[in-house]
Structure 1
Amino acid sequence: MADAPETVPDRILVVDDEEALRTPLCQYLTKQGFAVRQAESAAAARTMLKSEAADLVLLDIMMPGEDGLSLTRHLVETQRVPVILLTARGEATDRIVGLEIGADDYVVKPFEPRELVARIRSVLRRASRAETPAGTEADYCFEGWRLDPLKRRLLDPEGAVVAISSAEFRLLKAFCDRPRQVIDRDRLLDMVQGREAHLFDRAVDNAISRLRRKIEIDRSDPQLILTVRGGGYMLAADVTRAASG
């Protein structure tokens, strides 16, 4: 009987300048079955991610030098890696900004390690569900735009790559899977942010606004992503599937 394939652990990068918190946290996450690396700054994290990707980044907001929000923006726009922010109790504004720019979740310090692990696994499951199942690699095409679900890449009508965050990708893919159908805000909210998104009820509106800035000719008069009063939003375009170029 053949041996069962070995399970590859999820790779977590912990970025925090506070060594007294970072080291025991990494030890705990390792015991929970994750492959953990640690960085003491945003600069160190950038260097480490060039040599090896991460499946999720656990990131402190307040750090010397480049702060966590700046690094979050870089990660969601260039690597589309899920991010969970570590925030102090009084940093409500920073948490909101973090969600607006595409962070997947946040945890307030001091936190219960078991709850943090539950949050990590929830975000990883959500990211996994957004991955393209085998046999559905064909691109989504609408109004000259092309969304590659395998590479998570958006191409404009001229063929240029347009950077999108992981939240924007999930949102646009949801619309492409349901063209000309109204998707209510609660469903979109879960797709964009997941747990506790209801505490920040403008999460969907902000994600829609960012997406419109990228795909609409005139975002003040959108023609592709329409607001349906009392219902939600709709992609007002026909979508076809084509083999990836």
Structure 2
Amino acid sequence: MHKVLIVESNVQYHQLISQSLARFDLNFVTTVEDAILKIKNNAFDCLLVDMNLPERSRLFFLNEVLNKDHTPVLCMGDSEDVADRVSVLDMGADDFLVKPFNPLEFRARVENKIRKSIRLKNDSQITAIGNMSIDHTRHRVLVRDGALELEVPVTQTEFKLLTCLARTPEQVYSREQLLASAWGDEAGVLERVVDVHICLLRKKLGEKCSHTVKALSGVGYKLTVNRKVSLGA
């Protein structure tokens, strides 16, 4: 199920959007502050942004999310001024939907942008989780911090461990599973070696990354939300 974030200040539109995108996992917020918090802690397939938000907040949010990855951003507004629509598209938005919109056309446009985005992500082989991007082609890990993208200097082993954990966030992987993923059939590698590399990986991800690696005593490890980020620490 595709996950969509809707930044819409007019709650009357929430019901219309819910009916139009009934098959989607919808997350509604009414302020830019709440939207940024959601993006830090979740990976979305599409962003819908209300153009009736306060101008300063709206422009700040668009600068934060546009052109950062392949996630489509569709703007919604009641302005029929061509100049307004063109300015948003020039910033990098994928589409502009004029309110009130036809529910069928609205759904078709959203689905179309998500399909194109998925194809681009598959071609580039990038896994996006919260504000973290894992580039499988270049073996790079990037963390978005505001308008900046910071590279995390991981080793090949740490990259393999992170890639394994990122396949299914919140799923617990045993040391044995992580060993097989990072070292394959290599003999003589002790399970405790996993602990050392996970500890180093956790430190490198740091407090700016939306996700961290959590240990579950006697069970294994999982990639989970970094509460320090979600709480604004």
**TM-score, normalised via structure 1 length:** 0.48
Change (3 A) 1:64 1:124: same
Task: Measure the CA separation in 2 of the matches of 1:97 and 1:40.
Answer: 23
Aligned length: 138
Which structure 1 residue ranges, 5 or more long, are not aligned? 1-8, 139-146, 155-159, 164-245
Counterpart of 1:27 in structure 2 is 18
Aligned residue identity for 1:10 = H
Report the CA distance shift for 1:149/1:56 in structure 2 as closer, same or farther (over 3 A): farther
Change in Cα spacing, 1:13 to 1:70, as seen in structure 2 (3 Å) is same
The 2-side partners of 1:65 and 1:84 are apart by 16
Q: Distance in 2 between matches of 1:63 and 1:128?
A: 28
Residue of structure 1 equivalent to 2:92: 102
- Whether 1:14 and 2:10 are equivalent positions in the alignment is no
Q: Secondary structure at the match of 2:122?
A: coil
Do the aligned partners of residues 152 and 88 (structure 1) sit closer, same or farther apart at CA in structure 2, a change above 3 Å counting?
farther
* Cα deviation, residue 106, structure 1: 1.1
Runs of 4+ in 1 over 2 A off after TM superposition: 64-70, 77-81, 89-94, 147-154, 160-163
Q: 1:115 aligns with which of 93, 105, 112?
A: 105
Cα offsets for 1:189-219 (capped at 9, x unmatched) = xxxxxxxxxxxxxxxxxxxxxxxxxxxxxxx
- Using the TM superposition, give the Cα deviation of residue 72 of structure 1 relative to its aligned residue in structure 2, in angstroms: 1.9
Does 1:59 pair with 2:41?
no
Quickly say closer, same or farther: Cα 1:128–1:71, change in 2 above 3 A. same
Give the counterpart letter for 2:120 in structure 1: A
Choose which of 40, 43, 48 in structure 2 pairs with 1:50: 40
Separation of aligned partners in 2, 1:116 and 1:89: 16
SS in 2 for 1:90: coil
Provide the C-alpha distance between the structure 1 equivalents of 2:100 and 2:44, rounded to a whole number of angstroms. Answer: 24
Structure-1 separation of matches of 2:149 and 2:39: 22
TM-score (norm 2): 0.51
Q: What's 1:131 paired with?
A: 121
Return 5+ residue gaps in structure 2 as ranges: 127-134, 143-147, 152-233
Q: After the TM superposition, which residues 162-241 of structure 1 pair with which residues of structure 2 at under 5 Å, given as runs?
A: none
Which one has the largest radius of gyration? 2
**1-side partners of 2:92 and 2:70: how far apart?**
9
Percent identity reads: 24
